């Protein structure tokens, strides 16, 4: 069964999905749905990734018996066979794991996850205040953000949220995704929420997908706006889940604004 949450829906986009996928339209997730292999939840406000996925999950948990959720962006492509089947088979033999993700490759051929933990000061103060003139590749090397080398299979701090499978009971029991984010920070918060119920995040590199990372966001937001949205969500994460002080967040915001200003002047 497939559930599509049509964030920022229009009548035209709803009709296109329904007609092309032979799907049933859902306008109220609490009403009993007609029988279908595919449902389109029409949501005229853009709720963002976390709220949108929570809406779809709540619909599924209300009306169906669900063992796993596959959560996916709309900008991924399969490059291996049986990706979903192999991920489910793996997670089902790992009782301490609540979430599993494959190797995620970008259009540049580089891996996009997994990612180690980075402190707020390292991520938003040193990286943006001290290195505005470094190239992206140099910055990735200095701050351990270079995923070009294949990580080992196993438990990791964070995996790319564009495509992953989570056990339905664990997703429900951890409180699902935190609704206080928008477009960024959702997967790392979900990992922390799963850790709170003693469930881990697992990286399985033996199957892969292709992720056109940033293609959707770049259609709606410029680079500066995207950075500010990312800082807003991730500073919320560091504040709530790791106790970062408001003063540190203030310094981090100054660092991001400084970086944006310097970059804009360099590109003039």
**CA separation for the pair 265, 268 (Å, rounded):** 5
Query: What mean pLDDT value characterizes the chain?
Result: 89
Confirm whether 77 is domain-assigned: yes
**How many separate domains does the chain show?**
1
Q: What is the pTM of this model?
A: 0.86
Confirm whether 37 is domain-assigned: no
What is the pLDDT, as a whole number, of residue 139? 73
93 or 45, greater pLDDT? 93
What is the pLDDT, as a whole number, of residue 218? 54
Residue 132 has pLDDT above 70, yes or no: no
What is the pLDDT, as a whole number, of residue 74? 85
Residue ranges making up the domain that contains 143? 73-266
**pLDDT 10s digits, 172-205:** 999 999 999 887 899 999 999 999 999 999 999 9
Confirm whether 245 is domain-assigned: yes
Q: Name the band, by pLDDT with cuts 50, 70 and 90, for residue 262.
A: confident
What is the pLDDT, as a whole number, of residue 225? 86
Confirm whether 34 is domain-assigned: no
For 202, phi and psi rounded to 5 degrees? -125, 135
Q: Name the band, by pLDDT with cuts 50, 70 and 90, for residue 94.
A: very high
User: What is the pLDDT averaged over residues 158-185?
Assistant: 93
What is the pLDDT, as a whole number, of residue 267? 61
Confirm whether 16 is domain-assigned: no
User: What is the pLDDT averaged over residues 22-48?
Assistant: 93
Query: The CATH number of the domain where 164 resides is what?
Result: 3.90.550
Confirm whether 38 is domain-assigned: no
């Amino acid at each position: 069964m497939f559930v599509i949450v049509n964030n920022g829906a229009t009548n035209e986009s709803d009709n296109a999905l329904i007609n092309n996928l032979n799907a049933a339209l859902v306008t109220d997730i609490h009403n009993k749905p007609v029988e279908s292999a595919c449902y389109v939840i029409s949501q005229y406000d853009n709720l963002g990734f976390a709220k949108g996925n929570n809406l779809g999950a709540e619909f599924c948990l209300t009306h169906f018996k669900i063992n796993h959720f596959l959560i996916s962006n709309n900008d991924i492509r399969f490059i291996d066979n049986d990706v979903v089947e192999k991920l489910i088979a793996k997670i089902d033999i790992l009782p301490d794991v609540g979430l599993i993700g494959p190797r995620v490759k970008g259009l540049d051929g580089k891996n996009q996850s997994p990612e180690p933990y980075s402190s707020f000061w390292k991520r938003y103060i040193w990286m943006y205040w001290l290195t505005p003139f470094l190239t992206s590749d140099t910055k990735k090397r200095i701050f351990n953000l270079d995923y070009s080398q294949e990580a080992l299979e196993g438990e990791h701090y964070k995996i790319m949220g564009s495509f992953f499978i989570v056990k339905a009971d664990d997703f429900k029991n951890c409180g699902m995704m935190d609704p206080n984010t928008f477009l960024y920070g959702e997967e790392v918060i979900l990992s922390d929420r799963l850790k709170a119920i003693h469930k881990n995040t697992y990286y399985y590199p033996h199957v892969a997908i292709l992720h056109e990372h940033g293609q959707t966001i770049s259609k709606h937001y410029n680079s500066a706006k995207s950075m500010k949205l990312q800082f807003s969500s991730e500073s919320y994460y560091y504040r709530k889940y790791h106790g970062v002080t408001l003063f540190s967040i203030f310094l981090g915001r100054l660092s991001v604004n400084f970086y944006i200003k310097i970059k804009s002047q360099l590109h003039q």
